[in-house]
C-alpha cells in the first residue's frame, strides 16, 4: 500500500450534481437510477452542500413511513437546500488517502467532495471508494 497516494487516484469523478432549489423527488430519482447514495450540491461552480440517501429518509421518517403517495408528495414539496448538509468539508485532489480516511473516521462522514485548486468540484470520495482501494491492495 502506498503511504502518500493521493485521493485523486481513487475518487469517483463524472459526478451527478444537484442545485439547492431542485426537489428531493429529483434527487430520489437520481439515487434510484444511478445506484448512488451521495450527491454534491452546487451553486454555479461552488460546492454548497451534500445530500445523501439518509437525508431523504430523514425527511419522511415518522410521517409517511410506507405510504408511497405521501412520500412522493413530501419529496416533491421539499427542496434540496432544506435537507442537505450545508457547507461540507472538502479536500483537494492532492490530499492523501490516509488523510481522507482519518477525516471520515473522525467526523463520521461517509463522503467528502474533492475540489481542484480553483475550488471547482472534481470528484467525490466515499467510504466505498476507500474499501475498494483496500481490497485492491490486499
Reported as a single tens digit per residue, the pLDDT across 117-138 is 998 999 999 999 999 999 998 8
Whose cell is 472538502? That residue is 90
Cβ-contact 124, 110 below 8 angstroms: no
User: What's the mean per-residue pLDDT of the chain?
Assistant: 92
**How far, in Å, CA of 25 to CA of 75, rounded?**
5
Q: What pLDDT score does 2 carry? A: 65
| C-alpha to C-alpha distance for 32 and 24, rounded to whole angstroms | 12
Predicted local confidence at residue 61, as pLDDT:
78
Percent over 70 (pLDDT), the chain: 93
Query: Considering the entire predicted model, what is its pTM?
Result: 0.90
CB atoms within 10 A of CB 132: 12
Which pLDDT score is estimated for 82?
Answer: 97
Which domains occur in the chain, in start order? Answer: 7-137 (3.10.580.10)
Residue 37 binned pLDDT confidence (cut-offs 50, 70, 90): very high
Residue tagged 430523514 (cell numbers): 58
What 8-state DSSP symbol labels residue 119?
S
Tens-digit pLDDT profile for residues 101-111: 999 999 999 99
Q: pLDDT category, 83, cuts 50, 70, 90?
A: very high
Residues 103 and 89: beta-carbon distance below 8 Å: yes
Amino acid at each position: 500500500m502506498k503511504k502518500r497516494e493521493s485521493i485523486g487516484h481513487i475518487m469517483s469523478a463524472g459526478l451527478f450534481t444537484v442545485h439547492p432549489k431542485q426537489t428531493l423527488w429529483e434527487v430520489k430519482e437520481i439515487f434510484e437510477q444511478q445506484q448512488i447514495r451521495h450527491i454534491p450540491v452546487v451553486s454555479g461552480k461552488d460546492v454548497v452542500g451534500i445530500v445523501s440517501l439518509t437525508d431523504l429518509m430523514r425527511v419522511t421518517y415518522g410521517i409517511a413511513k410506507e405510504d408511497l403517495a405521501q412520500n412522493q408528495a413530501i419529496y416533491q414539496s421539499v427542496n434540496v437546500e432544506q435537507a442537505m448538509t450545508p457547507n461540507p468539508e472538502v479536500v483537494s485532489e492532492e490530499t492523501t488517502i490516509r488523510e481522507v480516511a482519518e477525516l471520515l473516521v473522525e467526523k463520521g462522514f461517509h463522503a467528502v467532495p474533492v475540489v481542484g485548486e480553483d475550488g471547482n468540484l472534481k470528484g467525490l470520495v466515499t467510504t466505498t471508494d476507500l474499501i475498494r482501494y483496500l481490497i485492491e491492495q490486499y
